[in-house]
A and B are shown apart, each in its own frame.
Chain A
Amino acid sequence: MNRQSTEAKVVFWGFLSPTLFAFVMIIVIPFILGVYYSFTEWTGVAGASNAWVGLQNYAHLLREKRFFYSFAVTAAYSLVSMVVINLVAFVLALLVTQELKGRNIYRAGFFLPNVIGGLILGYIWQFVFNSALPKLGDLLSIGFLRKSMLADPRTAFFALVFVVSWQYAGYIMMIYVAALQNVPQELLEAAAIDGAGPWQRLRHITLPMIAPAFTVNSFLTLVNSFKQFDVNVSLTGGMPTTTFAGEPVFATELLAMNIYNTAFAMNDYARGQAKAVVFFVVLTVLSLLQVYFNKKREVEL
């Protein structure tokens, strides 16, 4: 008995240690170091001792307009993307769950951009916005297409929303498709016999039945938009510049890119890390909210 439990212990730690070791080395230690560094004058130099400065890095963030602007743009971008992606995805899901001939092709096709990296898609779309669309605008005499959407601060924001929605909608669509397929067909047929039109069936049967999918998808899109980096880098690179509260800022520089630029372009590691900690806190709050909403719904059910 005793020998067996020794074997169990050896196997337990033997099997657990490879992932646990990597986890501690790659996530736990850097995370603890990162929180600590955000209170110091960290310069990114390995092994250097860093003077403790308390909340100074965080206090500076409150005064930094470029950060404030980036935060606001990211919040706006995340909310707009959440709405657009869910709307497009839901409409697509409704279409591809009808008895259409090519519905399997449509499903796979709308999903396809999700297996391609955001960096590569961003470059493709950069070319489309800078070269193909202006040409199309010329040919069809559509005024607003003639100038690249990426050149103007306001339209560049929507170009970013557009590309990410285009990429992500097919993914969210599949979650809605799964939810729509779980709506009992008899219920819809019974309602139709009772004289409910397509719109009424959608409004009073389908939508309430797939409400859980709406919650899941809203948080999924919100969190993923908040973390956006790859498409941001390749599509706009944060450009163009604009002014905010009298200071020049980058119009489409989302938070993840702002953190990266603070550390590597401005060479200010401590402040970049303080921003990253703020970024982490916001995402944790979003996750807790999601758990809260899911729990609440379970109680209601």
Chain B
Amino acid sequence: MRRRKAYLLLLELVTALLFALYFSPFYILVVNAFKSRYEVLTDVLGLPDSWSQAMANLRAILANPNLRFGASAVSSVIITSCSLVVIALFSAMAAWVLVRTKNRVSTFVFMMYVAAMVIPFQVVMLPLVSWMRMIHQWTGIPMLRTYHGLIFAYLGFGSSLSIFLYHGFIKGIPKELEEAAIIDGCSRPQVFFRIILPILRPVTVTVLILNGIWIWNDFLLPLLMLGIGNEIQTIPLAIAGFIGSFVKQWELIMLALLLAIVPVVVLFLLAQKHIIRGMVEGSVKG
């Protein structure tokens, strides 16, 4: 018994040490975000001399015309939240009719969604951009450099996995529930919005988490659809543009990176159980 205790204590120490090492890059990130440029060069490992430098850096970040951090954050929020709403709602609707309608068309459409999950983004990205330009030429609706274009693209890329997840869940909902409602005089859309949609909550949480983390962090699709230096920028785009174009002001870059990760980290700390389960489930199934 004593030996077992000593063994566990040793394991605890090893794990804690590993854990500290694992987090060391975040230490470097935080301390250098609060230093002056001179201090970053002379003492990169130590704590900042005075934390008041943080405010100066923050003001510099928010006022930086090349970074436009505030505007980018707003755009990121708009793009992520609107995409999530359309993906979750339309995917749930599609999955429901695909499960409840048994014919060749519904089987074919569902198989197509499943097959499409194999298609890597790289094989569609180049023609996608010129196709979006063609649509603009033919219809007069601009798809590139706009909110609606990017959100529409996220609906296209995000719906396959979401429909797949909803599909699996809806299969387990007893049909009698819906039949009873129909007899009571509900129309089909009413059945979906009043009865099915509330039941879907657990899987909706998974869909929102998976898509939300992907869209918030995504770099390549916004890069192609919005471009660097565009009026509308997401946070990753703004940071890539800021780092790529000027003399590297690492103390400002570090603070920008820190500000970029704070929202996700806070969200993660608040809902880590849901997030871990959602991300693991989504990917193993998909």
Contact = CB atoms under 8 A, between A and B. Distances in A.
Interface of A: 7-8, 11-12, 15-16, 18-20, 22-23, 25-31, 33-34, 37, 44-47, 92, 95-96, 98-103, 105-112, 114-120, 123-125, 127-128, 131-132, 135-136, 139, 166, 171, 174-175, 178, 216, 220, 227, 229-230, 233-234, 255-256, 259-260, 263, 269, 272-273, 276-277, 279-280, 283-284, 287
Given A46-B137, A171-B279, A276 B188 contact: no
A229 B224 CA distance: 14
B116 A23 contact: yes
A123 B236 CA distance: 11
Closest 10 CB pairs of A and B: A26-B156, A117-B217, A46-B133, A22-B156, A33-B127, A15-B93, A280-B123, A34-B127, A30-B124, A22-B155
A7 B220 contact: no
Contact of B126 (A44, A45, A118, A174): A44
A43 B284 CA distance: 39
A47 B264 contact: no
Interface string B217-256: 1111000000000000000100110010000001001100
24 contacts: A15-B96, A23-B116, A25-B152, A26-B155, A26-B156, A27-B116, A27-B119, A27-B156, A30-B128, A31-B127, A33-B131, A34-B127, A44-B129, A46-B130, A99-B8, A102-B19, A106-B15, A119-B219, A132-B45, A171-B283, A227-B121, A230-B217, A276-B125, A287-B118
B177 interface: no
Contacts, number: 245
Contact of B25 (A109, A124, A230, A233): A124
Contacts of A30: 124-125, 127-128, 131
Contacts of A132: 28, 44-45
Given A11-B189, A16-B109, A98 B8 contact: yes
Given A44-B129, A117-B219, 12 more contacts: A19-B163, A23-B156, A23-B160, A44-B126, A47-B137, A100-B8, A103-B15, A115-B213, A123-B243, A123-B253, A273-B127, A276-B122
A149 B153 CA distance: 38
A114 B283 CA distance: 13
B264 A11 contact: no
A91 B157 CA distance: 35
B276 interface: yes
Given A123-B243, A269-B126, A20 B94 contact: yes
A83 B262 CA distance: 31
Contacts of B217: 116-120, 230
B94 A136 contact: no
Nearest to B283: A220
Chain A interface SS verdict (over half): helix
Interface string B58-74: 00000000000000000
Given A100-B11, A108-B276, A115-B275, A120 B284 contact: no
Contacts of B240: 119, 233-234
A280 B122 contact: yes
A162 to B, nearest CB: 11
Nearest to A284: B118
Interface in B187-228: 187-189, 192, 213, 216-220
A131 B40 contact: yes
A295 B140 CA distance: 49
A16 B101 CA distance: 11
Given A12-B101, A128-B28, A174-B276, A26 B122 contact: no
B159 A22 contact: yes
A120 B134 contact: no
B257 interface: yes
A83 B160 CA distance: 30
Contacts of B129: 44
B254 A127 contact: yes
A12 B97 contact: yes
Contact of B279 (A114, A120, A287): A114
Contacts of A139: 45
B128 to A, nearest CB: 4
A57 to B, nearest CB: 12
B42 to A, nearest CB: 10
Given A119-B236, A132-B28, A230 B188 contact: no
Contact of A117 (B118, B218, B268): B218
A98 B253 CA distance: 39
Nearest to B136: A46
